[in-house]
Structure 1
Amino acid sequence: MTHQKNIETAGPDNTEQLIALLDGLQPSKQQQKTLLFQKLFPGIERALNRDVPQKTILVELQKMNLSLSMGGFRALLENEKKLRIENGERMQCETCGSTVSKSKPTLADLIAPKESIKGDDNA
């Protein structure tokens, strides 16, 4: 209640102090892990596409101060993949720019090319 009263009576001098307090806030440890994982995701995905074992990737992430359990790694990986698919992002080869396919195609992946071929026939 006292905090609310202080905010309501904030003048120009007090406003600067409040802004300084807000500027000093940091994300939680879990949010920091998630943000770092998101930044590293393209490299993680490329490593997985080269059949680098997840355990090896975890060891390297540990060296980068991103300590995860195998379950935590897999959860972040699946969440990030899901978000990127929902946003329409696709993995691309760094050399040629073509879309990198998943190691295990889904039924939707197998059906999609056939639908685009039917649409091109204009029959």
Structure 2
Amino acid sequence: MNEPSSLAALREWVSHTDIQNFEILLCIGNKVDLVSGHPAHAEYRRRLLKLEDSAVDSYSEEYGISESEGTSLLGDEAPAWDIRRSCLEWCTDHNIEFIEACASNADFDKCKT
């Protein structure tokens, strides 16, 4: 999710491969925690605050992934959310199931909807 060249490499591979020969097609977008504005940030923050028994009055980076960590992948012209949408649309067009993941933080991964 933070390296657009990965999708470009997948597109290139698919262009030279008969993907109809595969029964299961998955594209896993890792590092979804870096997608600014992703709904999982709010859920993750809510769970952290609940765990702290509301002792933390504001979300702090010391407790995990901050929504501000999400950054544009291609500069100001193409925010990460657009990259996510582009990947999802491409996968849909090719009958590939798109799955978002955050392999570096299992608790954040559980917050995805």
Verify same fold: TM over 0.5: no
Larger proportion of strand? 2
Structure with more relative contact order (C-alpha pairs < 8 Å, separation 6 or more): 2
Larger proportion of helix? 1
- Per the normalisation by structure 1, the TM-score is 0.28
- Per the normalisation by structure 2, the TM-score is 0.30
